[in-house]
């Protein structure tokens, strides 16, 4: 095998156990890229490998640190379940430490992605593509895709941690962190270079995971859009210019999907809105983590599937135990009730067969729309119909001889969940057993055009043009209502900073970005929601460098405040 990749396992060992920054390897043979690659298939297999890592990267712990630290999702303790040594509460209450595993896995996964993409890039750069019936254009595309993927990992790492060790090859070891600005500049240079060489998406062309000009342009827009949070220097004008060009088709043919479910359904690779996605198919388990983490033990009955679940995460409550609204007390949070009642997405999820479905939530009585069978409880409500509740409280402990005499006495906080606590999001559709071949068929949409509209809207809002900001948001909102009749459109008068954050939260609920949006608006550490009090500690806008990373590389400096 090739000189580097046969021993990539040694890089993995280093990344896993020596802090992700000592990327030196031991060579076990003399094989080099020029002799390892025998066919076009070898090249494509090598190219796809770091994309497989990216598919893993956009889920799991990276999603958790973005969403469970913010105001939309929680993993409440449900009786004897899900306390997890206090881990879930630490993230929710912003008390994480340098030892916490989600943070370590995020650091490790970020630099592992860089290492995989950089390793493949270095090998492909050495090849004469004409020997494999490929062209220089193919080579430029492959190298540019890998540069874009490296930029993607670094962009996320900058968001989570600030400055990172910047690698341009895999020979260095114990590399110190670059500054925030240096990391920013490295990401920018990778994306600008890639924009010249990436292919352009054509109208009607399905999205199959290939990184194209539109994806690189969108990542660059993301970088500029959040530049103030990353480096202290706002670049909203630069972000707006890119967004206008993307919408105008300068970087490929994209358009808003006419249906709200189009970017997420089983055939979303055909959606004109998806700019970049992680391909999926039956048995590839792209969304198995999502199903397992969100749904009740017996949600399989509601969905009519053969899948088990852990009954962990759910939407944070919109209502107090007495059913009054938290929206009357907090500007943030209350994710379910932020949806207008006429919003088609607010309906209960019902699979209708043939890949068709309606609604985006498991809410209320869990009676299967497919079979009519009832989903029954196994804990506090054993053998009773599960009714998923938009409240958090130990309602089973109310009554004579029990802990509480009335609802008014119930506390609502992370420690007080029950098995039916919380509405569950169904952003990735779940087919019934009759359509089992569609399972996990929805690709993971990482970037979609709606985000470009919302970035441009916010840039315009910050520039003082609230009318055009509202128009852009309403172009996306209208598809969420029957016949496009939106009863509460954004207007120049009602679009304040909280309405803007609500619009981000509604459209991108559960898409792994909420913390970033709160940080950009300086709300992450300064605002309250549900049972979360603001810390007022600005250093919490970034996560600490994990202790395992520092233990493996004493050149790493910890973020201030930790």
Q: Where are the domains of the chain?
A: 280-442
Token representation of residue 547: 């202790």
Tell me the C-alpha distance between 244 and 110, whole Å: 30
pLDDT of 50 above 80: yes
Enclosing H/E stretch for 60: helix 60-67
Integer angstrom CA distances of residue 473 from 141, 338, 457, 546: 34, 15, 7, 38
CA trace torsion 164, 518, 105, 96 (10° rounding)? 100
Q: Is the pLDDT of residue 6 over 60?
A: no
Let me know how many helices (H) and strands (E) the chain has, helices first: 18, 10
| Residues 171-195: tens digit of each pLDDT | 888 999 999 999 999 999 999 999 9
Rounded to whole angstroms, the Cα distance separating 64 from 52 reads 19
- Kindly give, in sequence order, each residue whose CB lies less than 8 Å from that of residue 324, ignoring residues fewer than 6 positions away: none
CA nearest neighbour of 505 among 484, 521, 494, 485: 521
Other beta carbons within 10 angstroms of residue 323's beta carbon come to: 11
Determine the Cα angle at 257 with ends 343 and 299, to 5°.
55
Q: In 126-195, which residue ranges form alpha helices assigned H by DSSP?
A: 136-161, 180-195
What letters, b where the CB count within 10 A reaches 16 and e where it falls short, cover 64-91?
A: bbbbbbbbbbbbbbbbebbbeeebbbbb
Kindly tell me if the per-residue pLDDT of 19 is higher than 60.
no
Q: Is 446 helix (H, G, I), strand (E, B) or coil?
A: strand
For residue 360, what is the DSSP state? S
CA distance readout (Å), 468 to 448, 456, 476:
20, 9, 13
Cα distances (angstroms) measured from residue 218 to each of 109, 158, 261, 445: 22, 16, 21, 13
Q: What is the pLDDT of residue 286?
A: 65
The overall average pLDDT reported for the chain is 92
Question: For residue 445, what are its two tokens?
Answer: 């949409």
Model pLDDT, residue 440 = 84
pTM score: 0.93
Print the SS3 string covering 186-207: HHHHHHHHHHCCCCCECCCCCC
Which residues are within 8 A (CB) of 86 and not within 5 positions of it... i.e. 6 or more apart?
none
pLDDT, position 395: 98
The per-residue pLDDT for range 360-395, each reduced to its tens digit, is 999 999 999 999 999 999 999 999 999 999 999 999
Q: How confident is residue 281, by pLDDT bands cut at 50, 70 and 90?
A: low
């Amino acid at each position: 095998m090739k000189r580097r990749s046969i021993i990539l396992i040694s890089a993995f060992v280093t990344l896993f156990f020596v802090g992700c920054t000592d990327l030196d390897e031991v060579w076990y043979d003399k094989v080099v890229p020029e002799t390892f690659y025998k066919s076009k298939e070898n090249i494509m297999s090598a190219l796809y490998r770091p994309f497989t890592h990216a598919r893993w990267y956009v889920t799991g712990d990276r999603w958790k640190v973005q969403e469970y630290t913010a105001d939309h999702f929680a993993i409440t303790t449900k009786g004897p379940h899900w306390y997890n040594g206090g881990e879930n509460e630490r993230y929710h209450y912003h008390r994480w430490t340098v030892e916490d595993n989600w943070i370590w896995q995020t650091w490790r996964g970020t630099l592992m992605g860089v290492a995989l993409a950089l390793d493949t890039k270095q090998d492909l750069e050495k090849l004469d593509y004409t020997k494999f019936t490929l062209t220089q254009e193919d080579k430029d595309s492959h190298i540019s895709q890998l540069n874009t993927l490296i930029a993607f990992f670094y962009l996320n790492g900058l968001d989570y941690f600030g400055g990172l060790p910047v690698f341009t090859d895999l020979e260095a070891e114990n590399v110190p962190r670059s500054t925030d600005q240096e990391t920013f500049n490295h990401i920018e240079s990778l994306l600008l270079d890639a924009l010249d060489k990436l292919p352009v998406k054509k109208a009607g062309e399905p999205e199959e995971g290939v990184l194209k000009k539109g994806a690189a342009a969108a990542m660059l827009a993301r970088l500029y859009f959040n530049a103030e949070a990353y480096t202290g220097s706002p670049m909203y004008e630069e972000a707006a210019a890119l967004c206008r060009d993307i919408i105008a088709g300068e970087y490929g043919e994209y358009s808003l999907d006419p249906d709200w479910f189009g970017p997420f359904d089983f055939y979303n690779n055909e959606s004109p809105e998806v700019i970049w996605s992680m391909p999926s198919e039956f048995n590839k388990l792209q969304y198995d983590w999502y199903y397992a983490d969100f749904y009740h033990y017996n949600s399989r009955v509601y969905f009519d599937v053969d899948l088990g679940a852990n009954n962990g995460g759910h939407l944070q409550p919109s209502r107090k135990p007495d059913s009054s609204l938290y929206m009357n007390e907090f500007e943030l949070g209350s994710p379910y009730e932020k949806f207008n009642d006429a919003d088609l997405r607010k309906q209960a999820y019902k699979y209708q067969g043939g890949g068709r479905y309606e609604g985006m939530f498991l809410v209320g009585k869990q009676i299967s729309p497919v079979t009519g069978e009832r989903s029954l409880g196994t804990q506090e409500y054993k053998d009773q119909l599960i009714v998923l509740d938009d409240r958090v409280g130990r309602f089973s402990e109310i009554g004579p001889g029990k802990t509480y005499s009335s609802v008014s006495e119930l506390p609502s906080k992370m420690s007080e969940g029950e098995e039916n606590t919380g509405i569950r999001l169904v952003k990735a559709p779940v087919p019934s057993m009759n359509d089992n071949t569609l399972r996990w068929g929805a690709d993971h949409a990482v970037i979609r055009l709606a985000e470009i509209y919302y970035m441009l809207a916010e840039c315009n809002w910050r520039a003082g043009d609230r009318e055009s900001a509202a128009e852009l948001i309403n172009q996306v909102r209208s598809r969420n209502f029957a016949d496009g009749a939106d009863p509460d459109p954004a207007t120049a008068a009602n679009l304040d900073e909280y309405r803007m954050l609500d619009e981000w939260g509604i459209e991108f609920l559960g898409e792994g970005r909420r913390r970033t949006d709160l940080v950009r608006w300086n709300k992450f550490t300064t605002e309250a929601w549900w049972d979360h009090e603001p810390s007022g500690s600005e250093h919490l806008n970034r996560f600490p460098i994990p202790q395992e990373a520092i233990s493996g590389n004493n050149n790493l400096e910890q973020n201030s405040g930790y």
